A and B are shown apart, each in its own frame.
Chain A
């Protein structure tokens, strides 16, 4: 049993931010929580991480440990060195090897240990923030807007890391993002929030290829979906939706042949 939310309602004073949310995270998969601004994504994540309590409803964590990677890594750091930052999450404070291992995992080396996390570059900060969560060995890792301030190369590295965490380390990943192309690249399951409600959930291709539905919920469809639609409409083809440009090109090549 994973994390389950039942009839969750939340409000700040009279301002209702979530209405009757029922959701069960897909364990062992990469989940994405998407939706336009003000749809309630952050509040929902804060309820899952227990940063705040819902007005009503039930949150079942079922003994799952949850790690939360902040949108802005600077907000997450509260120690003056990378070493101290990582050591905080360790049960056995003398297990220095684990600190080195986790740093390596995110693509950093021991030379970062004595540095102040606030003085690193954006990409490095993000990596240290992830390492600080990984060291606690959580079952579920939630990434809040992980692509903010990252270039394409860093985004690809992040995707690679998330896939390793999911496939090798058997972690459940939750990505909260408005970057639909980033989400479309690699997630398995999508939850779509709109106007305080969970309006759709399902496998990525089913949710993110539904052009009409996405438009209705003010989500700009992924570029690959838009391209596939354009080719299908203009050339009267029936290409399938793909999450990889190479697969789409292969399909097109087959048609041309």
Chain B
């Protein structure tokens, strides 16, 4: 049913990508997204695809998991292509946004699949720290972001359960398309209610552990910046600077 949606899921493996510093990973993702958006050359985008495939192979997560993440957004991709087709004239103008979108999903899946929610929160918090200067509530934002990402599979699982619960009462009838459409509306409301209940449970358990956002906090596992972190950072930043340099000139 909805089991093949991988957005927000953490996939544990022992790999260099998993062991990377979360801040560096978030920063590299930011650079990659900028590179993809700024550059407009099909061959270069293909090279970027090769690059992310290489990183995906290094993560030791089966490539099928990444493809699943992209495939789960197929309808979105189709809508994007249709909209581009309506606005733009040439076929290349349709291909570019779709290809860019796929690359961004691929890379962000690499980030979420190889980074645990706690690490991701830490990475995002450090990444957004400069915004503290403008009195932006960075801690709150990073925690909300991570909970939102982490909640996607939870909500999908709940929706799955509701679908099963409904199917268990109308198994034969469920196969008819009219019933399927009717049931879709019945899925949304209980899924929302169950999600809010789950959110309540999480907030209760956080309160029981005396979680306080304003408290200065230490981390159980201190992730240091290692050689391959610097290497990845240099690669990303170099490509980005080169592109910006070329654009300016």
Residues in A lying within 8 Å of B, measured CB to CB: 13, 49-52, 61, 63-70, 75-80, 88-89, 132-133, 136
Contact = CB atoms under 8 A, between A and B. Distances in A.
A70 B165 contact: yes
B169 interface: yes
Interface residues of B, number: 19
Contacts of B171: 49-50, 61, 65-68
A133 B169 contact: yes
Contacts of B162: 78
Interface of B: 1, 64, 161-162, 164-172, 174-175, 186, 190, 193-194
A73 to B, nearest CB: 10
15 contacts: A49-B168, A52-B1, A65-B171, A65-B172, A66-B172, A68-B164, A68-B167, A69-B168, A75-B161, A78-B165, A78-B194, A79-B190, A80-B193, A88-B169, A89-B170
Nearest to B157: A75
B169 A51 contact: no
Given A75-B161, A78-B162, A68 B190 contact: no
B71 to A, nearest CB: 14
Contacts of B175: 50
A155 B194 CA distance: 29
Nearest to B161: A75
B164 A89 contact: no
Nearest to B172: A65
B169 A50 contact: no
Given A61-B172, A63-B172, A65-B172, A78 B167 contact: no
A79 B190 CA distance: 7
A170 B123 CA distance: 61
A78 B168 contact: no
Most B CB contacts (10 A, CB to CB) among A61, A67, A78, A80 go to A78
Contacts of B169: 67, 88-89, 132-133, 136
A251 to B, nearest CB: 42
Given A75-B161, A78-B162, A133 B190 contact: no
Contacts of A61: 171-172
A61 B167 CA distance: 15
Most A CB contacts (10 A, CB to CB) among B171, B172, B174 go to B171
B1 to A, nearest CB: 8
Contacts of A64: 172
A70 B168 contact: yes
